[in-house]
Structure 1
Amino acid sequence: MTEFAIAPPSAVRNDSLVTTGLDCLAETEAFNAAFEAKAGSVPDRSRGVDAATLATLRRNRVGGEAPPVRLAEAHDRQVEVDGVRVGLRVFVPPVVEGAYLHIHGGAWMFGSADGQDEQLWDLARTARLAVLSVDYRLAPEHPYPAALDDCERAALWLVRNAAVEFGTDRLLIGGESAGAHLSLTSLLRLRDRHAITGAFRAAHLTFGPYDLSMTPSQRLFGSRRLVSNTDSLRGTYDAFVPGRTPEQRRDPDVSPLYADLAGMPAARFVVGTDDPLRDDSLFMAARWRAAGLPVELEVVAGAMHGFTLFPLTITERELRRQTEFLSGAGRSLRP
C-alpha cells in the first residue's frame, strides 16, 4: 500500500495551518538549531532504553531542560480510590474558583509531579485554580496500563472530592505530551467505566500522542533530534505498550484518536510545526470538531516537541493562552 502523501513537519512560513508564532519564527528556529547541535550529548532512545540510559535521562531530563525548581507552596499527598493509593502534588492559591488535574509529560518514562512547580503555581494563582499534578507510575518498570490506571483514579478522586476539598465543582484536566494522552484517555475511561461525563468542563491538551500506531507526521519526521523523532517514538511506544502490534495499538484505550468522542468536554489542542506529533493534534482536533464538540487548535510556527519547557517567546505566549483558556473553562468555544 502506498504511503499517504503528506509533507513532514516543518516550519513553513506560509503554512496555512499556522495560527501563531510567525512573528518570532527566527528566534524559534535559532533555538531549534542550537538544540539540535548539542543533541549528541543526550542519550539516544531510538533503540530502546536500558537501565543506565533511563537513569541518565531521568536525572538530566530528556531534552536537557533546566533542573526543576521545587516550591514550598506545593504539598504532596496520597489519596485513596477504591482501596488503591495515588500520589498528588497540590497547589492551592488564596482564591479557588476551580480545580485543574494536571498530568505531566515525559514519554510515560520520565518526568514527575514536582517537575513543573513554577509553571503550575503561576497557573494556580493567575487562573484561581487548585492544581493537582498526578504522580503516576512510569514505564518501562510499569508499562501500560499502570500510568493510565493511576490517572483514572486521580480523576475519579477529584470528581468525588473536589467540592469538599476545594469548594468547587468546576473541574478541568490537561497535560503535555504523554500527559495529554493520559488526560484524554482518563476522560474516556471516566465515561466508559464510571458513566461520568460533564464533570470536567474542559481539557487542555498540549502536543500529545493520540495514535500509537503512528500518524503520518510521526512516520515521516525522520532523524532530527528535536526532543523526539521517528525512531525515538518507536522506542518509546515499545517501552509503554510492549509486545503489541500496530493494530492492537489502535485500541482506543491506547490510541484515543480511534475513540468514540461522545460526551467529551471542550478542548484546546496545541502543537508546533516542527513536532513529529503534529498530525496527532491536527487529526484529534478535526475529530473533535466533526463530533460537534467545542474545540480550539493552536499550531505554533517552528515549535518543536516540548517547547513549553524552554525559555522562548512562543512559550511565554502559550502559557498565557493556556491560563486564559482554563480561566474561562472553554465556555467561549463553539463547535
Structure 2
Amino acid sequence: MTTPFVRPDVAALLEVANRPGAKRAVDVGLEAARGMLHASRHLFDAETGPLAVKRDVAGGPCPMRLYDAREDRAPGPCLVFYHGGGFVLGDLDTHEPLCAEIARLMDLPVVSVDYALAPEHPFPAGVEDAIAAARWIAGSPGELGLGVTGLILAGDSAGGNFTIVTALALRDAPAAVPVLAQWPMYPAGNPTKHYPSLDAFGEGYLLSRASMGWFDLCYRPDSKDWRYDPLAKDQAGLPPTLVVTAGLDPIRDQGRAYAAACAAAGVETVYLECAGTIHGFLNLRKALPSAQTDLERCVMHLKLLIAR
C-alpha cells in the first residue's frame, strides 16, 4: 500500500495525538469528551480575534451567536453555520474561532447555531433545530438585528450533514429568502455507506472509526431517513455547492460521493480536497498553520460561487 502524503504540521500533531495512552472521545465518556473538545480549541485552534459584533441571539428555536466584522450593515446575505462534533460534541464556543474568521474573510454576518445534541436529544432533534434555525434567520427577526436577503449554509463534519439536509429542506419548502450557496466541510454526506477511506484512515488520523461508532450509538439515527443520509434524495435544484474534504479523513469518500452526486444532478459544484491533512483541520489553525491557507482558498471559491 502506498504511504499517503502527510503535511509536516499534520505529522507533528499526529505524533502527539497517537502517543501511548492518548485518549479518544470514545475512551473517556460523554462529559469528558465534551471537555476534551473545549480544551482542544484553546490548545490547537486560533484565537477568536477582533470583531465589531459578537453576541448571543435569543428568540429563535435554539441558541445562536452572531459574528460580524462590521458594526452596521445594509441588508444582504447571512452565513448560517452548523458546528461539527459527531452530533454529540461541540457548541457555540468550540467553533467560535472558525466562525469569527469566516465572518472576517467573507465580510458577512455569521450566525452559529447551537442545535440540540445527542444522546440527550437523539435524531432527529438536532437536524430539526438546524432547519428551523435557518427558516427563522431567513425571516430577519428583530432579535437578529439584520436584514437578511439570502442564506449561505455552512458547517463541518456533522454540521456538514446538517448543511446539506437544510439545503434540501429549503429547496423543497422554501424559506422567506433563497439559499444562495452551501458549503459542507468534510461532511458526513453518505453515512450509511462504507467507503474505502474509512479503512485507510480509520485509526491514527485523529478521527477514529471507534469514535465514529460511538457517535452513531449516541445519535440513534434512522438509516432510511434522508435527514440522516441526504444522498437518499435527488440533489437536483440545490444552490451552488462548495464541498471541502481532507485527504487523510475516514469520511473523505463521503464528501467525494456527495460532490459527485451534486455535479451529476446539474448543481454548480466546486470540489476541493485538501491533501495531506486530517478531519477537523479548519478548527486546528494554531497547530496546523497550513489550515489557514486552506480556509482562505475555500472562501475565495465560495465568494466566486456567490458572485455568479
Please tell me whether residue 159 in structure 1 is matched to residue 138 in structure 2.
yes
Instruction: Tell me, in whole angstroms, the C-alpha distance in 2 between the residues paired with 1:199 and 1:53.
Output: 40
Aligned-residue sequence identity (percent) comes to 23
Q: 1:223 to 1:291 in 2, by over 3 A?
A: closer
Deviates more, 1:66-75 or 1:54-63: 66-75
1:308-327 CA distance string (max 9 Å, x none) = 12232331112112332343
SS of residue matched to 2:274: strand
Aligned to 1:172: 152
Q: 1:36 to 1:197 in 2, by over 3 A?
A: farther
Q: 1:176 to 1:35 in 2, by over 3 A?
A: same
SS of residue matched to 2:271: strand
Q: 1:173 to 1:162 in 2, by over 3 A?
A: farther
Aligned to 1:57: 33
Aligned to 1:31: 13
Equivalent pair of 1:222/1:231 in contact (CA under 8 Å): no
Which of 89, 97, 113 aligns to 1:118? It is 97
Read off the aligned partner of 1:260 and give its amino acid letter: D
Q: 1:218 to 1:138 in 2, by over 3 A?
A: farther
Q: Displacement of 1:221 after TM fit?
A: 3.7
Gaps of 5+ in 2: none
Aligned to 2:78: 99
Q: 1:268 to 1:222 in 2, by over 3 A?
A: closer
What pairs with 1:72-83 in structure 2 (closer than 5 Å)?
73-80=53-60
What pairs with 1:219-238 in structure 2 (closer than 5 Å)?
219-221=198-200, 223-238=202-217
Equivalent pair of 1:128/1:327 in contact (CA under 8 Å): no
Q: How many residues align?
A: 298
Aligned to 2:188: 209
Which of 242, 263, 271 aligns to 1:289? It is 263
Q: 1:219 to 1:89 in 2, by over 3 A?
A: same
Instruction: Tell me, in whole angstroms, the C-alpha distance in 2 between the residues paired with 1:123 and 1:216.
Output: 30
Deviates more, 1:66-75 or 1:259-268: 66-75
Q: 1:280 to 1:141 in 2, by over 3 A?
A: same
Please tell me whether residue 90 in structure 1 is matched to residue 66 in structure 2.
yes
Read off the aligned partner of 1:200 and give its amino acid letter: V
Q: Displacement of 1:204 after TM fit?
A: 1.1
Gaps of 5+ in 1: 1-6, 14-23, 47-51
Q: Displacement of 1:44 after TM fit?
A: 4.8
Read off the aligned partner of 2:130 and give its amino acid letter: C
Q: Displacement of 1:191 after TM fit?
A: 2.7
Instruction: Tell me, in whole angstroms, the C-alpha distance in 1 between the residues paired with 2:25 and 2:62.
Output: 31
Please tell me whether residue 42 in structure 1 is matched to residue 23 in structure 2.
yes
Q: Calculate the aligned-residue CA RMSD, in Å.
A: 2.8
Read off the aligned partner of 2:14 and give its amino acid letter: N
Equivalent pair of 1:136/1:151 in contact (CA under 8 Å): yes
SS of residue matched to 2:250: coil
Q: 1:162 to 1:314 in 2, by over 3 A?
A: farther
Q: Displacement of 1:305 after TM fit?
A: 1.0
Instruction: Tell me, in whole angstroms, the C-alpha distance in 2 between the residues paired with 1:276 and 1:35.
Output: 16
Q: Displacement of 1:229 after TM fit?
A: 2.1
Q: 1:223 to 1:121 in 2, by over 3 A?
A: closer
Deviates more, 1:282-291 or 1:298-307: 298-307
1:58-115 CA distance string (max 9 Å, x none) = 11218944267677841112234xxxx3211011332645210011111111110222
Read off the aligned partner of 2:158 and give its amino acid letter: A
Equivalent pair of 1:70/1:115 in contact (CA under 8 Å): no
Read off the aligned partner of 1:12 and give its amino acid letter: P
Q: Displacement of 1:232 after TM fit?
A: 2.0
Instruction: Tell me, in whole angstroms, the C-alpha distance in 1 between the residues paired with 2:31 and 2:133.
Output: 27
Please tell me whether residue 191 in structure 1 is matched to residue 183 in structure 2.
no
Equivalent pair of 1:100/1:132 in contact (CA under 8 Å): yes
1:122-151 CA distance string (max 9 Å, x none) = 322332211100011100110011101111
Q: Displacement of 1:198 after TM fit?
A: 7.6
Deviates more, 1:209-218 or 1:304-313: 209-218
Please tell me whether residue 268 in structure 1 is matched to residue 242 in structure 2.
yes
Q: Displacement of 1:218 after TM fit?
A: 5.5
Equivalent pair of 2:206/2:278 in contact (CA under 8 Å): yes
Name segments (4+ residues, structure 1) moved above 3 Å: 10-13, 62-65, 67-73, 162-165, 195-198, 325-332
